[in-house]
Amino acid sequence: MRMVDYAVQATSEYVKHMPKSLRKNYGQFFTSKETALFMAELFTIPLKDTISILDPGAGSGMLSAALIERLQTIKHIKEIELVCYENDPNVGDAIEKDLVKNVTKLQELG
């Protein structure tokens, strides 16, 4: 399964269990898979072997997952550093549980 698909699952689970009124309190808007994949293609990738990413409104990690998937296809990149921030601890738990776990799986496979 692709990393963005794990983020889709995390988003779906979160939205299913969190009322819209509470999501509005955090100003949450979750990026769609299609939008995240499109946006990941817009980044200019530097010619460095280590790439650092800061996602200050990580949500369920959709955009980060899409960008990491793109970076994994670029041969000169040897390491990707990702820092995610999220002000809703419920979503933060989804990031930690799903995105981090599955990034680790991909590293083991790669």
- Name the DSSP class of 1: -
- Spatial separation of the C-alpha atoms in residues 40 and 26, rounded to whole Å: 24
Is the pTM here over 0.95, yes or no? Answer: no
- Spatial separation of the C-alpha atoms in residues 7 and 61, rounded to whole Å: 6
Give pLDDT, residue 100: 62
Give pLDDT, residue 109: 47
Q: 28-75 pLDDT, tens per residue?
A: 888 999 999 999 999 999 999 999 999 998 888 899 999 999 999 999
Q: How many CA atoms lie within 13 A of 77 on its CB side?
A: 17
Report the DSSP beta bridge partners of residue 55.
84
Q: φ, ψ for residue 5 (rounded to 5)?
A: -70, -35
**Is there a contact between 62 and 36 (Cβ–Cβ < 8 Å)?**
yes
Q: 37-46 pLDDT, tens per residue?
A: 999 999 999 9
Task: For residue 2, give every residue at least 6 positions away whose Cβ sits within 8 Å of its Cβ, in sequence order, or none.
Answer: 69
Whether pLDDT at 108 is above 80: no
Give pLDDT, residue 60: 82
